[in-house]
Amino acid sequence: MNLSGNTQNSPVLVAFGANLPLDGQAPAETIAQALQALQSEGLALVAVSRLYRSPAFPAGAGPDYVNGAVEVSGAATHDVAALLALLHRVEARFGRERRQRWGQRTLDLDLLAAGESVLPDAATQDRWRHLAPEVQQAEAPDRLILPHPRLQDRAFVLVPLADIAPVWRHPRLGLTVQDMLAALPEADRAALVPL
């Protein structure tokens, strides 16, 4: 998948979060180091959101998270498979273990969107986006789905994303980040507190 073009028109958006300490350091410190690691892997940080404290998801699943979002550019952003591998490599450097879906973690890097790309195809993206919540927690896709099928439902993704890409438009929903955020319940939006 080639994603050529200006990052202003085709932003590559990544969400990040952590809720477990790593070697005694707080999640916010891990995130700062992980952002530096992305740069050392050849990515430019075009825009970085503020950091937000948010309740664990699903509710009661552990300590509060520190969440944010970043727009990246660089050679790896032209190939989503290479970019995903890079994100997984950085997660592993910071102690990420993939044992439980939506479990606690030292670092999470989620590829949210690559411009207007819909992967692997519109029908698959739509299917995963429409899954019932209980199915979402039990099933994981066997391939990358873009845009991320849950991004429109999650304040902990949309609030920081609104800091850096408020007018990015979801290619299947036709809604901007601002629109999707406004559609969430006020209590969900209010639960995020800037650090």
Cα–chain center distance at 103:
15
CA distances for 2 relative to 27, 116, 117, angstroms = 33, 12, 10
Please state, in angstroms and rounded to a whole number, the distance separating the CA atoms of residues 19 and 94.
12
Domain limits of the chain?
12-194
CA–CA separation, 42 vs 74, rounded Å?
6
Residue 76 pLDDT grade (very low, low, confident, very high; cuts 50, 70, 90) = confident
Report how many helices (DSSP H) and strands (DSSP E) the chain contains, helices first: 7, 6
Sequence length of the chain is: 195
Question: What is the pLDDT at residue 99?
Answer: 61
Determine the Cα–Cα distance for residues 163 and 60; give it in Å rounded to an integer: 27
pLDDT digits (tens, 9 = 90+) for 80-124: 999 999 999 999 999 877 565 456 789 999 999 999 999 999 999
Domain 12-194 annotated CATH 3.40.50.2000: no
Q: How confident is the model at residue 50 (pLDDT cuts 50, 70, 90)?
A: very high
**For residue 5, what pLDDT is reported?**
34
Residue 57, pLDDT above cutoff 90:
no
In this predicted model, what pLDDT tens digit does every residue of 141-156 receive, in sequence order? 889 999 999 999 999 9
